[in-house]
A = this chain, B = another copy of it.
Amino acid sequence: MDLELASRLSRPNSTRIVLCVLDGLGGLQRRSTGRSELEQARTPNLDRLAQDSETGLSVPVGAGITPGSGPGHLALFGYDPLQYDIGRGVLEATGIGFPLEPTDVAARGNFCTLDAAGNITDRRAGRVATEHAAGLVERLRQIHLPRAQVFVEPVREHRFVAVLRGDGLDDAVSGTDPQITGVPPLEARAMHEGSGPTAILVNEFVRQAGEILAGEPQANGLMLRGFSKYPALPQFPEVWKLRAAALAVYPMYRGLAQLGGMEPLACPGGLEEQLDVLKRHWDDFDFFFVHYKKTDAAGEDGDFERKCRALEEFDQWLPSLLALQPDVLVITGDHSTPALLAAHSWHPVPFLLHSNYCRKGDSGAFNETECRRGVLGVFPAVDTTPLAMAHALRMEKYGA
């Protein structure tokens, strides 16, 4: 839905909407058993709920398009992910709560290990300890660039954020991560004319960093990618007239929600803590985005069984969420991460919406096969928020 139309039609009321995103939810059937992760996992609570919900398969971005986490979540929040593009640098910076300014250029950084010839031997510097990396980041703050301020912030293990602040910076700069080992990091390149000066600054940053890190045993190099500026997203709470909160373990997902104007609530403890936070803030917000990462992590590792267990863990938690009696509950994913592919994929994602105003479908359980038989069919993920809003009776009639 066009967001101007959404602002025109949305209206506040006293309902509560919960959107549970099981990251990388969708899977693929194993040849040996003919069953997907969701089909193999024992998920009686999800299955029972699916029988009493509107179900379908949602397409995150478009046919054949494998989404990253950014586009996958944006779609669920109602932003057309082809229209609103968020760079990795901005995502990471927002995820750690860095106060980005509109003209800043942010990048995601990785420490890496270089050999004597300057070739990369480990793209993650042996996943250097978070505390040690924080010390290295502290030292990188010595870097001085002409006509630009530099900010470097630690994230976790080998990951950090670098932000350039100054006039006329442009984010159309290619990353320096070659994505393979045995070669040196790439030079940053301007991807159009206007970004030439920024590319020069980036390469100078890398040069000075090399001198600073030279004596390090593991993290003696770094790579930068995802150069990006803050996107101008229409704010979710204004568009939909919802007080919205984001409950996530990982900073990136809170950061993403925050870009849309949601209030980030850290829950490092996972599902149990997310439930506590939900209860504590049940009266403070109208919309709760609950992010669950374990499904994706297992899928990315190609670990079918662990993904099943992650699904079962969520299923066991579900009754305590239902006890809060949200008016609208959506359970879906931001994309598929089939263990078979050990990666994100383009496959549509199982989707369930429960409210008092659901049509009955043919889904006997919550999985890829059964959701396809649901009343929503195969539909764009960007319809998720409008559908949730409608079921919450938070949308005015269109036209007289």
Contacts and interface: CB of A to CB of B under 8 A. Distances in A.
A117 interface: no
Contacts of A400: 68-70, 86-88, 91, 108, 226
A49 to B, nearest CB: 16
B361 A398 contact: no
Contacts of A195: none
B398 A67 contact: yes
A201 to B, nearest CB: 22
Contacts of A368: 359, 375
A349 to B, nearest CB: 11
Interface in A311-332: none
Contact of A28 (B9, B61, B359): B359
Nearest to A65: B398
Interface string A203-237: 00000000000000000000000100000000000
A303 to B, nearest CB: 18
Interface string A60-76: 01111111111110000
5 contacts: A64-B387, A343-B397, A346-B387, A347-B359, A377-B377
Interface of A is mostly: loop
Contacts of A66: 390, 395-398
Closest 4 CB pairs of A and B: A64-B386, A88-B400, A63-B383, A64-B390
Interface string A369-400: 10011011111100101111110000111111
Given A376-B378, A379-B378, A86 B359 contact: no
Interface string A1-14: 11001000100000
A147 interface: no
A63 B385 CA distance: 9
A85 B399 contact: yes
A360 interface: yes
Given A67-B398, A362-B372, 7 more contacts: A9-B65, A63-B379, A64-B385, A64-B387, A71-B398, A361-B372, A362-B373
A63 B399 contact: no
Contacts of A340: 357
A81 interface: yes
Nearest to A377: B378
A385 B62 CA distance: 12
A34 interface: yes
B383 A82 contact: no
A81 B399 contact: yes
Given A359-B347, A399-B81, A400-B69, A64 B383 contact: yes
Contacts of A119: none
A53 to B, nearest CB: 13
A142 B266 CA distance: 67
A36 to B, nearest CB: 8
Given A62-B386, A63-B383, A64-B389, A70 B399 contact: yes
